[in-house]
Chains A and B, each alone.
Chain A
Amino acid sequence: MGAHHQGVTTTDSPPRGAWAAPVLAGLVLALSAVAPFVRFGDGVPSVGGADVVAAALSVAAWAPFVAALAWLGRRAPGRGAWLGGAVLLLVAPPLHTLLFAALMGIVAGGVPPAMRPGGPVFLVFTLLGALQFLVVLAVAEARRAARAAAGLALEHAWMEAELTKARLDALRAQLEPHFLFNTLNSVAVLAPTDPAGAQAMVRRLSELLRAVLADDAMTVPLRRELELLEAYVDIQRVRFGDRLRVTAEVDADALECRVPTLVLQPLVENAIRHAVERREGGGHVRVRGRVDRGRVLLDVTDDGPDAADEPPPAGGFGVGLRNTASRLGALYGAAHALRLTRPEQGGCAVRLELPAR
């Protein structure tokens, strides 16, 4: 549909060319109203002043019936309007002719016998009236259809907007705005003093953005996910200095399993926050992956402070892990598990279990 992208704007103003049908129909009605009064004296068509008055009365006599049709359209849209229109088509023409004859009687001081019900002129006017009313019905139907199409276009645009919002939410869950803008800030700071470093950072960020914005961005093979994790860790290393150490040990059979894109990033970020940021000496984040009985098991552990040193975050998860949990819920439902534990030997451990696909 052409109106797809303008759905929102087309509803208030009628679609382009909507004036054509009513104007053409008006022309047909005006001509057909005047036609019966044209005289052919001496083979030359002519219309007298009284004839124009009669034609105008004929048109004016339609007013109550058009009003009735409009009222029907508002009161009973859809099938009801069709039924009402059909009834009006049967009833309106003879009633119109009666009204017209009555108006002529008032203006001319009496109704000529030929225009009385059953007379030949009465029949001709009724038939003509039926044709004229058909034209009005056709215009009304065309306008109704145009409005319905505009409504449909609006609905399409609305659904598309919802879909875009859902994708944006997914994007935010994968690549947090704070991370994005802090990284851009780092690039801006590096640019004058360390252009090569700034360029490297832009390349790494581009890699992450490309992965997140790809058409099939929902999941990637774990092999690819580890590459993306490396890009992320490279960026964090520049941002937070060299204190950050991240290593990955993943079994070969786990490498081809599909996992949600950038699912490791919030887990590692959580570990970095916990183990690295708050310690002068830095810390070590370890990622392990294996397949066990049809399940992919991913462990992210750090060597941060002992559990006794600090209570776990309220509610178990921080904001990052909560977003991850809801994203996993949407993708896998009950088929996944995400657990945060504080091992005896200290640090923090997150285990993610997914179906191996």
Chain B
Amino acid sequence: MSGAALDVLVVDDEPLARAGVRALLAEQPEVGAVREARDGEAAVAAIRERRPDLVFLDVQMPRLDGFGVVEAVGAGAMPPVVFVTAYDAHAVRAFEVHAVDYLLKPVDPARFRDAFVRAARAAAGGGAAALRAATGS
């Protein structure tokens, strides 16, 4: 994995949860800028304007939730996304919208690293190449 450092967007309505993902991202050498969004609307705006390379997206947020964000941006325009959620009730739906991975809070650092590497490969490859990269090779 070489090339430019990755721009990452962290979306969660809880400051502490964002800080948690930020701390895990600080461990990843490939990460460049990290931005935060505190709700769904802010996330949609940030994705449209800033075009981050990958997104860590909380599922449960007031008003516009994680799935709402993917829908609003459009699956085609959506950067690789890793869902992060507190309660395992959305995994199937997450993969239906082609999430790269699905993490449960509190997040295990090794598991986070796996998800990050997959997402980074998807960001590097784009589209079908990303899928192949994410599934191995």
Least CB distance from B17 to A in Å reads 6
Q: Interface range on chain A: under 10, 10 to 19, 20 to 34, or 35 or more?
A: 20 to 34
Closest to B22 in A: A189
Q: Is the interface of B mostly helix, strand, loop or mixed?
A: loop
Whether A278 pairs with B15 at a CB distance below 8 angstroms is: no
B129 proximal to A (CB < 8 A): no
Least CB distance from A273 to B in Å reads 5
Contact of B16 among A239, A277, A278 (CB under 8 A): A239
Q: Give the number of A-B contacts (CB < 8 Å).
A: 55
Whether A188 pairs with B20 at a CB distance below 8 angstroms is: yes
Closest to B105 in A: A185
A181 proximal to B (CB < 8 A): yes
Give the chain A neighbours of B104 by CB distance below 8 A: 181
Give the chain B neighbours of A218 by CB distance below 8 A: none
Least CB distance from A169 to B in Å reads 15
Whether A181 pairs with B13 at a CB distance below 8 angstroms is: no
CA distance A184 to B104 in the complex (A): 11
Closest to B104 in A: A181
Give the chain B neighbours of A181 by CB distance below 8 A: 86-87, 104-106
Contact of A240 among B15, B86, B105 (CB under 8 A): B15
- The 8 A CB mask of A156-198 against B (1 = contact, 0 = none) is 0000000000000000000001101110111111101000000
Closest to B84 in A: A185
Binding site for A on B (CB under 8 A): 13-17, 19-20, 23, 39, 60, 62-63, 86-87, 104-107
Binding site for B on A (CB under 8 A): 177-178, 180-182, 184-190, 192, 238-241, 273, 277-278
